Amino acid sequence: MPKLEQIRENYNAARALCEKRIVVCAGTGCIANGSMKVFDALKNAIALSGLEVTVSLKSDDPKEHKHHDVYMVGSGCQGFCQVGPLVTIEPNGIMYGHVKPEDAEEIVAKSIVKDEVIERLLYHDPVTGTAYKGVGGDPPFYTKQQRTGLKDCGNVDPENISEYIAHGGYFAARDAYSRYSAEELCKIYQESGLRGRGGGGFSTGLKWNFARVEDNAKKYVVCNGDEGDPGAFMDRSILEGNPHSVIEGMLIAARAIGADEGYVYVRMEYPLACSRIREAIQTAEAYGILGDHIFGTDFSFRINVMEGAGAFVCGEETALLASIEGKRGMPNPKPPFPAQKGLFGKPTVINNVETLALVPIVLQQGAENYRKVGTAKSPGTKTFALTGHVANTGLIEVPFGTTIREIVFEIGGGVLDKDGKINNDAFKAVQIGGPSGGCLTREHLDLPLDFDSLGSIGAMVGSGGMVVMNDSTCMVETARYFMTFTQHESCGKCVPCREGTRQMLEMLEDITNGEGTEETLELLAEAGEAVKLTSLCGLGKSAPSPVLSTLRYFREEYEAHVKAKYCPTKTCKALSPIAIDPALCRGCTLCKRVCPVGAISGEVKQAHVIDPMLCIKCGACITTCKFKAIS
């Protein structure tokens, strides 16, 4: 295999012959918004302008390198999904958003040929109106982050191994095979404090060491890319945008435990991620990075790709292993743990995509330097998929210890109210950790986000889903939505999860349909605790979290549903209040006189109002009103 230094030198030499570089976001979100049409339009516009353009710098022969005016590349997700499709122009440091194919000619004429900035395509702050040029003057969405695992995700060409190597890729893996013993690697990762980013937060180095000490000639490394949380796309974006970082992480893990084979398990709903990781594996094999005699050593390692059918439960490690083995994806009791007896009965290390993408970075920086970011017990950074009622949605990465306030109000640009306007007073809650997580409220805005602080209040980091909700959100309906998902995705193997989640869902449906009672709330909490304590796997144990957390922090909203038969946000149709239209009301007082509970108030010849907390929806007022003002 060619030396990494030579590959890097060749790429940099070819890159130096290109005057400008255009990066078009080619992640799934931007592709869905037409970014590849933008790519083609830009390429055609550049060619028509008489400039030399290339879309490939993969040649390893310096003699084949030639001058190009523009080098075009499609990247992975750049994170700022709210303003995609995104186009970045280097070295000018310009970032354009909401780019359309018809903008291509203007971009080439002004920004490529004349180095001018097109004001209308820049990101404008929705509150201040400030225009941000881009890379050289990033909007707060970027400047408030610390992109480590995602640093190259929206920058490098995911289909160009030379570019990954030029950015320092595979050097850490080479060090792992040539400079360190397996025991030393496990120790480094234990000292770094790197914890699993898939939700459990278990020590990566400790997990590796458990597998390392197992006396077995055959061992496996498995990448868990079965990202099933609604609204979560962290793992998908890394597989799409920087697949070689995952391969390098698996290589290092394999060296640490003595594995010669690995699997990337990714759900089939991610076709772009599947194709890019497959291509990256084939390229790494062609370069001699994967296969036999890795980096000139006696070690061998090969990677297979397994597409899952989309079952949420296959995110649980033992269910994932069963799926790879061709069995139905259902969890098994632990112990034995996979590190002892995993895939095909052999010692197996399972890490999620984000964890593996961080593995090379830890070795590059060193354990001590890695610990300088984040908190003492949760070092490093964490990616989150920021969605919901927030101005800036997208993929973000922040140090552990960052607060909800910083993420929502600064990176996210503020909360959107029911009219779509930025109004931070409209903030109500954040659902964190997906369907297995819990709700954080206004009182948690300054809570540092890390594994331990979230665990102390009944929430969890999870895989990193973060849904912001404003005051128009019904928390009971939110709990019902997540319980519908988890109940549907229950594998059914254990009774507490199979039957308990069904009973909880039925009680939530009773509450949202106006059929719940105070006793229903007590039974709901009791059932949630039972499912949490007795389910077989981690997914079942965490399934009640959205319900228990909303019961805890929004009890009055539940009580309004069962006591007053009223949904404060008017979301639950069965509990929508009876109201008087002031434009039609003549103030005749007939409705007021027939109301059996005194819920209607108002003066003669003035519009009357109904107190929804007192109204029992008997319909007497509707029948009595001669002006059809009540509905």
Q: Is 499 exposed, middle or buried (0-12, 13-18, 19+ CB in 10 A)?
A: middle
Query: What confidence tens digit (pLDDT) does each residue in 16-73 have?
Result: 889 999 999 999 989 999 999 999 999 999 999 999 988 877 766 666 778 889 999 9
> What number does CATH give the domain 381-473?
3.10.20.600
Pick from 462, 422, 420: which is nearest to 440 by CA?
A: 462
CATH class of the region 577-631: alpha beta
Q: Is residue 377 within a helix (H) or strand (E), and if so which, with residue range? A: none
Distance CA 156, CA 74 (A): 8
* Predicted local confidence at residue 337, as pLDDT: 94
What is the fold, at CATH topology level, of the domain defined by 161-370? Rossmann fold (3.40.50)
How far the first Cα of the chain sits from its last, in Å, is 77
* Predicted local confidence at residue 490, as pLDDT: 87
Torsion of Cα atoms, 172 then 177 then 182 then 186, to 10°: 0
> What number does CATH give the domain 4-135?
3.40.30.10
Pick from 249, 144, 242: which is nearest to 196 by CA?
A: 249
* Predicted local confidence at residue 213, as pLDDT: 96
* Predicted local confidence at residue 34, as pLDDT: 94
* Predicted local confidence at residue 215, as pLDDT: 93
* Predicted local confidence at residue 614, as pLDDT: 85
Q: Which residues of the chain have pLDDT under 70?
A: 1-2, 59-63, 135-137
| 0.75 exceeded by pTM | yes
* Predicted local confidence at residue 60, as pLDDT: 65
* Predicted local confidence at residue 619, as pLDDT: 84
* Predicted local confidence at residue 189, as pLDDT: 97
> What number does CATH give the domain 476-573?
1.20.1440.230
- Average pLDDT taken over every residue of the chain: 91
Query: What confidence tens digit (pLDDT) does each residue in 450-491 have?
Result: 888 888 887 777 778 899 999 999 999 999 999 999 998 888
Do 610 and 600 contact (CB within 8 A), yes or no? yes
**Per-domain residue ranges of the chain:** 4-135, 161-370, 381-473, 476-573, 577-631
Q: How are beta strands 87-90 and 94-96 bridged, if at all?
A: antiparallel
